[in-house]
Amino acid sequence: MNGSSVRIGASGVLLAAAVIAALGLAAESVAELEPAENPPPVRKPAAIEPLYVRPLMPVESGRNDSNPVWSPSGSLIAFERSRGDKKEIVIARPDGAVIQTIYHQLSENSVEPRFFFPGVVEDVSYNAGITWSPTGDRLVFMSNGGGGNYDLYLRNVDSKTTRLTDHREKDGQAHWSPVADQLVFVSGRSGKGDIYLLEVATRTVTRLTWGTQPYLYPQWSPDGRKIVMISGSNENHDVYLIEDVRRPGETLKALTTWVHDDLRPVWSPDGKKIAFYSNYNPAGDPKAWAILVIAADGSDPSQGGRLAAKVVATDVVPDVERGPAWTPDSNSIVYVRNDRQEYNPIYIADLVRKTNLPLKTDTRMNHDIASSAHGVIAFRAQVDQWDQIFLAKLKD
């Protein structure tokens, strides 16, 4: 349930979409002095200047922080923190003040959870997969409780914790409806990965998908009526849409149907578009990734050149845990560019202006991008080989 069923290769080099043409030399005499084998210098694209860039909290070695998830209001941020083999969840304010640290451990011979301070217990517990309630006072995460199997748990910001699922098969990849107390999640209880609906209040579980291949990474539409997801083999996933969650079997349709691998679809905040990763590229390199944006109503073609024309960014480092990061106005996508010479910089694809420009952060090996409702970008970057969470505020 941690994405191991989806295989992703390292991104290759495809096209430099934002590179400006090389400078010409005005005087022929000067040009004649330059050796023929030395090309003229290439001007880097102008960078977008954020209002600020800063670490969420003081940089510290010995831990790795990843996968930040903003609460709907942007007043809180939760992320995963690894210390050795243990993974806990930290809830903090944007100023870095820690509200809670969650390290879940099942008590011996009991299904009831115990909670320990990190570093006190010996058994390894893995806690991840955060999704916030619409009101931002609760979150759901998955945990193996140190016991090897993953279930879903509900955590109140006031520290009360409730177990939501208790099944011998793994449950995870939950996403909370933006308008109701309902979750969609992936479970192996059908013998493979299928999508289920869970009513938080009653714990009622309803199966939504039946198929021969796993369904993964479900996400609610902003109006809470539809669900987008992927399904397919390890080398060829397609994007699928349930148009009416009340009639999942009748309204399931494929949004992509080509031979390329499509991953981690995400709705735009206005609900009109869906962005996803694809290894489509003219060179046919399965390790080169792009971001495509299609109409959420299914009106765009599902394959061929007309779908290929929906590419908005190339040379992308895919982030399967979070997916493409939309800005609040639904006009741009923030992503990491596969450029090792520049230490994988952050770029912004502006869908209105049709530009791809770097965001000046002066950070290295960036990943895990998430945008708040106020346009604050949270992301992971390396400092002295340790992963830290940084914040960057975009200008209005």
Per-residue model confidence (pLDDT) at position 116: 35
| 200 within some domain | yes
| 373 within some domain | yes
| 43 within some domain | no
Number of domains in the chain: 1
pTM of this prediction? 0.84
Secondary structure class of 5 (helix, strand, coil):
coil
Q: Say which DSSP state 160 is in.
A: -
Secondary structure class of 304 (helix, strand, coil):
helix
Per-residue model confidence (pLDDT) at position 9: 38
| 253 within some domain | yes
Do the beta carbons of residue 104 and residue 127 sit within 8 Å?
yes
Pair of tokens at residue 121: 């217990």
CA distance 77 to 62: 21
For the chain, list residues with pLDDT below 50.
Answer: 1-36, 107-122
| 195 within some domain | yes
Nearest to 262 by CA among 284, 244, 296, 289: 289
CA distance 18 to 92: 35
Beta bridge partners of 83: 86
Per-residue model confidence (pLDDT) at position 41: 60
CATH of the domain at 197: 2.120.10.30
Range of the domain at 354: 63-393
For 248, list phi and psi in degrees, rounded to 5: -65, -40
DSSP secondary structure string, 160-190?
Answer: -EEE----SS-EEEEEE-SSSSEEEEEESTT
Based on C-alpha coordinates, what's the Rg of the chain?
22
Query: For the purposes of burial, counting CB atoms within 10 Å of the CB of 350, is it exposed (0-12), middle (13-18) or buried (19 or more)?
Result: middle
pLDDT in tens, 134-188: 999 999 999 887 666 889 999 998 778 889 999 989 999 999 999 999 999 999 9
| 376 within some domain | yes
| 232 within some domain | yes
Per-residue model confidence (pLDDT) at position 105: 61
Pair of tokens at residue 327: 């800005």
CA distance 262 to 278: 4
Which residues does 294 contact at the CB level (< 8 Å), separation at least 6?
Answer: 239, 255, 256, 273, 274, 276, 300, 307, 310
| 136 within some domain | yes
Pair of tokens at residue 156: 């109140």
Do the beta carbons of residue 359 and residue 311 sit within 8 Å?
no
Do the beta carbons of residue 209 and residue 235 sit within 8 Å?
no
